[in-house]
Amino acid sequence: MTRKLVECIPNFSEGRRLEVVDSIAGAIAAVPGVSILDRHSDADHNRSVITFAGAPEAAAQAAFDGIRRAAELIDLEQQRGEHPRIGATDVVPFVPLRGTTMEDCVQLARELGRRVGEELAIPVYLYEEASLRSDRVRLEDIRRGEYESLKETIGSDPYLAPDFGPKQLGNAGATVIGARAPLIAFNVYLTTDDLKIARKIARSIRHSSGGLRYVKALGLLVEGRAQISMNLTDTTRTPVHAAVEMVRREATRYGVAVHHSELVGLMPTAALADSAQWYLQLDGFKLDQLLETRLSGEEREASFLQRLAAGTPTPGGGSAAAYAGALSASLVAMVARLTLGKPKLTAVSERMRQIVEEAEGMRMWFEQATERDAEAFNQVLEAMRMQKGKPAEQVSRQQAIERALHGAAAIPLEGSRRAARVLHLAVEAAESGLTSAASDSGVAALLARAALQSCALNVRINAAAVSDAAAGEAWKAEVDRLSASSDSDLKRVEHSLRGRAGLDF
């Protein structure tokens, strides 16, 4: 029997405090049967998008847990960003995948909306295919005026009466929940910081202003550049390259160009192949000409361990340190899950749920860090390859190297902090978790200690190379402190394993 699968892509109004995003992601990942496929955070937008998939019931529970955690951690009275929003969890779309229909997702969205309204007292609006009102289908119509306007008018404007929940806003705002077909979130950055130009181009290309069908667009200022932020709602009718080429033509009118583009979340292979076919003029191209398509069912990409052994500078020791951290966090989550539901351990069940959520957030951070560490080291190599003949070039090269070294140190420094935290969670798992999983707790602790020491080594390497001696000394002092404090945690694990399971390290 084909396993039913839906995709859910909640957007949260936080992209700067990554520890908050970690906690939300952990709450989602803690639901059995749910897999997080992608996570994207943007500090300028102050927004994060988490893409996950699972069986319908599991996906709905994961979405609810994510909404609840976001409501606890995100205060709309304080939150500001470039992207429009009305809620801590701003929008939650469900998309049918394998063995499910749009009607399944509509029912899922409506049931979740009712539950969020009743149990969390958060106003909920239904949109797209799940909408209950023909005049309230589009997300942009519901979100017009944002949180600040909605707070003032939700109780008096009949149009803004929510489908579920109270007619008043708390600090978590409101949430829009719906069902829709797959869309692609795609951003194009321009070679200018002129926000007016971005807004003019967005107005020209979006369908609501007379532009391309199936294109929604906003002009924003992100990372010091004008950005055209687009949602492409049907790329079989308006493909990605059509939208990008129209942005390019419009940009030329204002004397600017496309600097680069950005994919937020995931996109179907067919949409990417469609654009490649158009740009390369590959008439007659078929998807089964892609090697990966032919190799379906085979390993499509070299594993991390294969790449680590390949004899290239990256991935290297920093990525391996992060990998150890991910293994440790995974084992902590495993022990906590095994402990849940055991009749003799009900007193620690709630704490074990919390540990699962936190450990899952740590695991995902470390998984991403295996790639981010390699990227950061590549930036150092690129800076070192810069020309150094003229005095001005020497200064520019040295500045680029210094920036790259600071970036390369930031990841293992954060990894050291997180490894120390995972080690502390391993202590709790060893002391309170399932006794038959005591050895797993011990392995988790040893891996966390290895990750911490390995991250610290990479911090010290970068600290020795930077020109900013004060910064380097501060980094070394912090990892020294973390390493010293980990000694006591490791002793607690050893004591617990000896006492509870008769095991010695």
Determine whether 484 is exposed, middle or buried from the number of CB atoms within 10 Å of its CB (0-12, 13-18, 19+). exposed
Q: pLDDT for 218-244, tens place per residue?
A: 999 998 999 999 999 888 889 999 999
Residue pair 220/45 in contact by the 8 Å Cβ criterion: yes
53 forms beta bridges with: 7, 35
Q: Which amino acid is at 343?
A: P
Asked if residue 315 has a cis previous peptide bond (ω within 30° of 0), the answer is yes
Residue pair 425/358 in contact by the 8 Å Cβ criterion: yes
| Whole-structure pTM value | 0.66
Rounded-to-integer distance, Cα 313 and Cα 281, Å: 36
Return the pLDDT at 3.
77
The CA-atom distances, in angstroms, between 385 and each of 315, 388, 403, 404 are: 19, 9, 14, 12
Query: In sequence order, which residues have a C-beta less than 8 Å from that of residue 318 and are 6 or more positions away?
Result: 373, 374, 376, 377, 408, 411, 412, 415, 454, 455, 458
Rounded-to-integer distance, Cα 108 and Cα 62, Å: 12
Q: Which amino acid is at 59?
A: A
Q: Is residue 300 pLDDT above 60, yes or no?
A: no
Residue 284: both structure tokens together? 């007659």
pLDDT above 70 covers a percentage of the chain that reads: 97
Which is higher by pLDDT, 464 or 286? 464
Determine whether 401 is exposed, middle or buried from the number of CB atoms within 10 Å of its CB (0-12, 13-18, 19+). buried
Q: Which helix (H) or strand (E) holds 443?
A: helix 438-465
Residue 505: band (very low, low, confident or very high) from pLDDT cuts 50, 70, 90 = low
Q: pLDDT for 185-210, tens place per residue?
A: 999 999 999 999 999 999 999 999 99
Residue pair 162/154 in contact by the 8 Å Cβ criterion: yes
Q: Is residue 299 pLDDT above 60, yes or no?
A: no
Return the pLDDT at 73.
97
**Catalytic-labelled residue, pool 40, 45, 83, 241:** 83
Q: pLDDT for 388-443, tens place per residue?
A: 777 777 878 889 899 999 999 999 999 999 999 999 999 999 999 999 999 999 99
Return the pLDDT at 295.
60
- Alpha helix (H) residue ranges in 254-386: 269-280, 291-294, 304-308, 317-339, 349-384
Residue 296: both structure tokens together? 């379906």
**Terminal C-alpha separation, the chain:** 46
Query: In sequence order, which residues have a C-beta less than 8 Å from that of residue 451 and are 6 or more positions away?
Result: 321, 322, 324, 325, 328, 366, 415, 419, 422
Residue 370: both structure tokens together? 């295996």
Residue pair 483/417 in contact by the 8 Å Cβ criterion: no
Return the pLDDT at 294.
65
Q: Is 333 helix (H, G, I), strand (E, B) or coil?
A: helix
Return the pLDDT at 301.
46
259 is catalytic: no
Phi, psi of 180 (to 5 degrees): -155, 170
Residue 398: both structure tokens together? 């040295």
Q: Is residue 356 pLDDT above 60, yes or no?
A: yes
Query: Which domains, from first to last, does the chain contain?
Result: 6-179 (3.30.990.10), 184-282 (3.30.70.670), 315-501 (1.20.120.680)
Residue 48: both structure tokens together? 């994060």
Q: Shortest CA distance to 418 belongs to which of 505, 314, 490, 324? A: 324
Determine whether 479 is exposed, middle or buried from the number of CB atoms within 10 Å of its CB (0-12, 13-18, 19+). buried
Residue 491: both structure tokens together? 């002793």
Parallel/antiparallel/unpaired status of strands 225-232 and 184-190: antiparallel
Q: pLDDT for 29-55, tens place per residue?
A: 999 889 999 898 999 999 999 999 999
Return the pLDDT at 302.
55
pLDDT above 90 covers a percentage of the chain that reads: 75
